[in-house]
Amino acid sequence: MSHAMQFSITIFLILAMASIGLGKIGLSDDDELSTINVRDFGAIGDGTTDDSQAGYVNFIIESGKTFLLKPIRFEGPCRASYINIQVLGTITAPKSIYEWGGQSVDNWLIFFRVNGLIGVSNKGPDALSFVGCNNLKLDHLNLINSPRRHVVIFNINGATISNLNIIAPKESPNTDGIDIGQSTNIQLHYCNIKTGDDCIAIGPSSFYINISNIACGPGHGISIGSLGLNGRTDKVEEVQVRDCTFTGTQNGVRIKTWEGGSGYARKILFEGITLNAADNPIIIDQYYCPNNMCSKQSTSGVKLSDISFTRVIGTTTTKNAINLSCSKSVACTNILLNHVNIKSAYSEDVVSSYCINAHGRFSDSVPPVDCLLN
């Protein structure tokens, strides 16, 4: 049987089980399975026709239904050119960790090596991981209250992600909106993200990432990193973040690296950024250490260069509107700030800038960045 038909049967079995029973998968030993005929999904079954050439496989999670699913791994490769999943109803995970049946709680729905995957939804699941799914398309998904990260993009070449609505409580830890790692050519546009951690985090080995029209807040902003953990050599290059709004966030646009790492982050552009009472609007933190138990005597660091902040405007609740804390061992170079206008959210306060070993230049900036070195 072809990979495409195996994938088709797997998905439809899951949905059929949920719809003919009580909408639950694998929660008891008494669930009855429906019989599924592959000819209902386009297979001819005459022993001659190549049933692997479906080309476009379409699955619909019907509206008005709520499907309770335990952790599931959808694994390719599939021979169909495109796999289209329409989530019109609601998919939910077990509420208690004990209902996961001893399975890993690190991931819930994993799509592994499923190329040409398209996800379209009106209501959506709580946590999605896509690994090795090249030419991925996600559009119009709602993701609510994941216990950890909401969307993980890993080891992917080519993805277009748009119109996601991601919501988690402001106080919820580690509930990143979208995490990207070891991926190339990722387009991320027109999303509304409200979480307790990074709205978007761009991790190691990420290249050619284009982000635009993101409404972030609450949350920890849009971050590159963290990079260099445990002395790793990490690389990030060609990242563009444009036309994004930050409201009540802990950070605006941020680059964070650990001391002792190596590698680089370069050719990075932040442009058209709007701030509404955001903490730390522009921040480079090469002393990232959330547990405050890190060595401060390192002689190495991730090299940051060719980083531009252009048309960054709005208000902040912190004194240092611009914080460029670069490594004392490896300087940041070619840092450019242009058309920056950040004022205090409190009318009587004046904001300032702060630098450590940051080299570059600025023009038309409020506050001025006089601490930049030539």
Measured CA to CA, the distance from residue 293 to residue 68 in angstroms comes to 41
* Residues 6+ positions from 50 with CB-CB distance below 8 Å: none
Q: Which residues pair with 229 in a beta bridge?
A: none
Cα separations (Å) of 89 from 67, 85, 92?
A: 8, 12, 10
Asked whether 307 and 331 are in contact (CB, 8 A), the reply is: no
Instruction: Please list the alpha-helical segments (H only) found in the chain.
Output: 3-20
Measured CA to CA, the distance from residue 360 to residue 28 in angstroms comes to 63
Tokens of 20: 């003919």
Cα separations (Å) of 245 from 100, 223, 242, 251?
A: 37, 14, 9, 11
DSSP assignments along 79-107, one per residue:
SSSEEEEEE-SEEE--SSGGGGTT--SS-
Q: Which residue has the tokens 């009472």?
A: 277
- Catalytic residue positions? 220
DSSP 21: T
Asked whether 183 and 214 are in contact (CB, 8 A), the reply is: no
